[in-house]
Structure 1
Amino acid sequence: NIAAAVEECIYCYGFKFDNVYNGDVMIPVAQGADPHDGGGKMVDSYTIGLTDFANNEAYAVPNGITIWWVCTEYEAPREGCSSLMKDFVVWHHHRWGYFAYETNAMTIDGFIHRGDVTRLENEYEVVTSLYLVDYLQRQTVIRNADLQGAMLGIEMPVNRDARGSDGDNVGITRVENSLIVAPTGMLISSPSSTNGADDLSPQRTILRNVQFAYPPQRQNKFISINGDGASAATSNNPNARNDIWIIDYNKPVGEDGPDLYISPRYQPKSRCDNALGDCSNDISGSFPAIEGGYVYPLADDLIPPPVGAHKVYLPILK
């Protein structure tokens, strides 16, 4: 499908999935069944993921795509529900390629963004390829992305798991096997929200074989980290964990690069965890394109395997 020539407004999109307040819905029990004549079952709409959204394109639009409350009811994620956005292409837009509202277990595979690089000569340009703040984005995986021509490649989530959750396996967002060509490749802010931040989960960003480059028009940083929270947020929690693990920094698949552990500079240097990296070996000076973090070698025994193949879950019939 192709969406084009969408009328201008701030929150207009080529594609929109809006599952807000849908609650239980009736679906056919089989192909061709009439749900209003005994052939339907009630299901929780928040257990229905995007299972076949592939090869779609948006251009001449204010924004590419937005997704609301998929595999989660507001901030209450449904276990066993997941989604796959596959090979989405957006170009010739002027704000967000993807604006993410609440989602759970969303895999974005093969997302392509193209922007007009001449617009980057304007320092006030704000086009972003993947805008993942400031709503719940739990267990988001981005792989095989090709993002070029935006002022900002990815603004990472700042509300990454169920409120009150804690532990090493919560709040993880992964980006793998991707290319980002932008003045600022990735912006990682402290956990924050428009709905209070004290009970937000800690967060961890894991990058594997992510390549960064600058367009000729403007250069800033490959990765920028700050403790101010997302710009749209009204509450901020700079004390929560917000570390970054990088495997094969700035190298394509099949090439070895540095493995890094990054602790944010807005927190005391003593927050560095020796179980994650060599805190006695600050190598930040060797990575000038990483801003706002203390950079250390990542512990060898912590390098996680790549994310496995995406699994599609069917809705739960009641």
Structure 2
Amino acid sequence: MTVYEAELVVAGTEPAADGVLALTLRHPLGEPLPAWEPGAHVDLVLGPELERQYSLCGDPADRAAWRVAVLREPAGRGGSAFVHEQLGPGDKVRVRGPRNHFALRPAPRYRFIAGGIGITPILPMLAAAEAAGAEWTLLYGGRSRDSMAFTEELARYGDRVTLAPQDETGLLDLGAVLDALPEGTLVYCCGPGALLDAVEERCPSGALHVERFQPKEQQTGDDAEFEVELAQSGRTVTVAAGVSVLDAVRDAGVEVLFSCTEGTCGTCETDVLEGTPEHRDSVLTPEEREAGETMMICVSRCRGKRLVLDL
């Protein structure tokens, strides 16, 4: 599958909240950007071994520009600091994508829950739900009101949006949103891992869709050795214990797109033609894991002795 990749220009920047910078990206020649749907993210290639994923939070109908918002994380690995300190209007940045593992599915009603910078993929979902005539509410929490991004844009939705800064209201009242969900309601949640874990405990799995910034702790088996057949070349690669499929195929000279190496971004998703994966990612839904049609080769392994992958 061909993935769009281009040098885009930072057309503008603006603070979206304390510590949050919004960037507008355009093609330098004014060419239209690929279409996307709410929940999609792009990779910003900031330098050698410095790639980060950010949710698109603008208007999907606007093919002339993409908008992302980046939270500065002092304890991060350098990506957010680079964006805040090195990127300004007129600068160019290589962008890859979009990809979407958090797509908004049709439903008569939604409950949206966002924590902190987790509002970014939710923002275009609200507009889509509104345009579809669905019934919806948003519960949005953050450390403080000043730290919560895009509150001015959210104000137009009135009382369907509940802002809950922790220093004013304490922890989010998830029970008020999730207890006794009407039939047919889908729940979309993005934010810190503790919030997602709490929502997962209270919400029926079939109704819940989440996106994680950090990998979820997985219950896994032993890292036994197995073989991977690469269907496109007919080669077979041995994946040793303690070595990822990604590293094994790259060591064999096969070029594969990847980014986070933690099972959260979805960049290395690969079709499984034969065999049963042992999923260790934080991207696929329970239904997708059960189907076993794809796997994230940066973290996931094999439940048997052999996989055949579309590589």
- Say yes or no: TM over 0.5: no
Normalising by structure 1, we get a TM-score of 0.26
Give the strand-richer structure, 1 or 2.
1
Normalising by structure 2, we get a TM-score of 0.27
